[in-house]
A and B are shown apart, each in its own frame.
Chain A
Amino acid sequence: MADGEYVLEARGVMKIFGNHVALDTVDFGLRKGEVHALLGENGAGKSTLIKVLTGAYQPDGGGIYMDGAQISLDNPLHAQSFGIGTVYQEVNLLPNRSVAENLFLGHQPLRFGFVNFRKMEADARVLLANYDLQIDPASELGTHSVAVQQIVAIARAVQLSGKVLILDEPTASLDRNEVERLFEVIRGLKAKGLAIIFITHFLDQVFAISDRVTVLRNGKLIDTRPLDDLSRTDVVRLMLGKDIAFSGATDIESNAAQNEVLVEFKGYGRKRGVLPFDLTIHKGEVVGVAGLLGSGRTEVARIMFGADPADQGTVTVNGQLTAIRKTTDAIRHGFGFCPEDRKAEGILGDLSVRENIVIALQGKLGWFKALNRDEQFEIAGRFSEAMDIRAASLDMPVKLLSGGNQQKVILSRWLATDPAFLILDEPTRGIDVGAHAEIVRTINRLRDEGMAMLVISSELDEVVAYSSRIVVMRDREMVAELRGKNINPGIIVQAIANNTDEAVA
């Protein structure tokens, strides 16, 4: 540490959970006025390092130094008093309280021992103006978009700490414009001399905003380097220790269209959900769904699966007119659905990996054909191997796994039911590059095996890589269906943006 000018430094930090070494003598130094990207696959130790740096965990070895002096952090609040503020992926604010109170909670201006609301709201207005936010400080936070909430969270963290800002995947649920907005905020803070740690899974964003990068793998420090002399391939190689190749197949033969029709939706829609749409899905075909956040992508998935049943239109499965009013109807027809919000709608956090994998299959078999323990282990074992699920044991609670592994568990759950039609909503959101590639590979493999899929994703490169057809959503309406050579990111963006439908092939 020759330059010794680190604002915040971790020296030889160890963290051990049971017999698992989560952090193995990791050194990490953060300079004033830099954006320092922290990268690593899921389970590499990023979150653990952050939790040590914010006082949520106590290190089992090594120490934390601030401006060269050793400090010990008891809890996040204590870290805050040292100037270390954190913004998490899920906005950790109070949706039930006003914007102003979220900014100042615990530090509200007082007058005669009582909270001075007028001053608090005036202060909030001034503070928000720095971030170009024109919102009423007295309004309930929960009524604003996630992006606004995220900026409010940053404003709070900077306001209270003002030395080090840790951004833990802040962009995971933002769309492109919102990310750009956030980056402007980050650049402004950097110019003011704040030291910023930025964690993300999007390499583009790392290169767009970061000065240096630290890569962790399996709890060990791999390297800390300035980004100037690194290429994207270098970074990926550092993260994985190997090269990965996305199959860049853009020209998936559309012979799937000649396969027999599996599901056909006609005038299918739901009031307050999605405008009526027509969609035919063939066996062995992946239909990609593109569109901005809030364009009705998720609604399409939910209506198809009967999670929010349709109130108009018809659905034909295997040539038979039928009705999907609830999810069990859909499962009976061989549908599977991996929802977008893994934590809330996907995993059963306290149940084991094994139970999470077999639960949909058990649901399909019904009450009277209980899978015994050996069968459960056999099924769970088979899928965890096929999907490369990294869990210490099949009996460990699934909530302890990393995001990518949880996603693989949910995917396994539905694959175990041997579905004919699988709906995946953002299957790669918030997971690392390795697991990402694994899931893309799985999608391709399943398609080749003849499964029909509907995949929703915000990552256009990814949708393009595996879709045989792409439908584009805008304002809760299916506005375009792209095939063949029209499947490329440029045309999709056009279709999303255009009001005229020239992009339709």
Chain B
Amino acid sequence: MKRSLRPLAATAVIFLIAYAVSVLQFPGMLSTRVLGNFLTDNAFLGIAAVGMTFVIISGGIDLSVGAVIGFTGVLVAVLITWFGVHPLVAFAIALLVAALFGAAMGLTIHYLQVPSFIVTLAGMFLARGGASVITQDSVPINHEFYRTISEAIIRLPGGGRLSFIGLLMVAVFLVGALLAHRTRFGSYVYALGGNTVSALLMGVPVARTTVQIYMLSSVLAALSGIVFSLYTSAGYPLAAVGVELDAISAVVIGGTLLTGGYGFVLGTFVGVMLLGLVQTYIIFDGTLSSWWTKIVIGVLLFLFIVLQRIIFAASAPGEESSEKV
């Protein structure tokens, strides 16, 4: 097996074992209802994590994701509730704003040679601050369109429900996987994560690709914000605080190397599902504090970083031959 696949395989195996153990303890967890809710409850995280996967594979990081989700939620809510704009128009505006926002961050990162960590940290404060300037309160959304969307569900045998936003997340993952693994843009993203200097010398349009990566991440964060507003039927400036960190965790647990160059979009899906499983387990248990989620995520993250370290250090080229000695 290719060594880059190993962390992903490990995640998948851990997910299956963890799920099996959960089902043994709570047979109720093996139901279409739980699986359907997995998708719905994690839709906004999953969509944001797809963008984060691209950023991390390219060797960067995007800390603005959670703030963009919050900002988008407020923007959409305000446009619909205060100004009576149709939700679809509001969505388009929000996505456009996010695209410009991402492009600005990408341009800064590339042309000013500032680390993405700093630029997106600034972006995070800007977006969060912007949302709070628009309104300090939660703005409810009462619109026919929102009701239509939330009623648009596919019923599964066994009482499960596939929601629109859950399916949207799956669609984003599929498109993201195609984009990452089957297009030239995708190969450029990996090239940047491998070695930026080489990429430049090989003719990779580094500037354009960098801008596109951060645009993609911000647009997906905005889409995630829209999904979040559909999920909660409101916009709140302090929504989704820290989601960027959950997204990063999901990406790393899904087998993407934090230093860039290696990773899979569908790995992130498994990562998101694993995080969702932990939460569901805690809900089923009922006695555990929800903060246990954080502890489990912390342990998982630590495990995976160690695992990747071992896999990539142990099989560095040229060292295999010495093993015989």
Contact = CB atoms under 8 A, between A and B. Distances in A.
B318 A101 contact: no
Nearest to A104: B187
Contacts of A275: 325
Given A108-B187, A115-B182, A115-B184, A271 B325 contact: yes
Interface in B176-217: 178, 182-184, 186-188, 190-191, 193-195, 197-204
Interface stretch (A136-144, A171-179, A325-333, A413-421): A136-144
A175 to B, nearest CB: 14
Interface in A65-92: 76-77, 80, 86, 88, 92
B190 A97 contact: yes
A95 interface: yes
B322 interface: yes
Interface string B270-299: 000000000000000000000000000000
A502 to B, nearest CB: 25
A271 B325 CA distance: 7
A96 B198 CA distance: 12
Nearest to B257: A96
A52 to B, nearest CB: 15
A273 interface: yes
A105 interface: yes
Nearest to A296: B322
Given A114-B182, A115-B182, A143 B317 contact: yes
Nearest to B322: A272
A319 interface: no
Contacts of A88: 201
B325 A105 contact: no
Interface residues of B, number: 31
B164 interface: no
Contacts of B200: 76
Interface string A96-114: 1100011001101010011
Contact of B317 (A76, A80, A142): A142
Contact of A106 (B197, B202, B262): B202
Interface in B145-195: 178, 182-184, 186-188, 190-191, 193-195
A294 interface: yes
B187 A92 contact: no
Contact of B318 (A80, A140, A156, A294): A294
Contact of B190 (A86, A92, A94, A142): A94
A106 B202 CA distance: 8
A166 to B, nearest CB: 12
Contacts of A94: 190-191, 194-195, 198-199, 202, 261
A96 B199 CA distance: 12
A77 B2 contact: no
Contacts of B4: 96, 140
A165 interface: no
Interface in A252-300: 271-273, 275, 294
9 closest Cβ pairs, A-B complex: A94-B194, A96-B261, A77-B203, A96-B194, A92-B198, A272-B322, A114-B182, A92-B201, A106-B203
16 contacts: A76-B201, A77-B203, A80-B203, A86-B201, A88-B201, A93-B202, A96-B194, A96-B261, A97-B187, A102-B202, A105-B204, A114-B183, A115-B183, A115-B186, A140-B4, A142-B317
Interface of B: 2-4, 178, 182-184, 186-188, 190-191, 193-195, 197-204, 261-262, 317-319, 322-323, 325
Given A94-B194, A108-B187, 8 more contacts: A94-B198, A96-B193, A97-B191, A97-B194, A105-B204, A106-B188, A140-B2, A143-B317
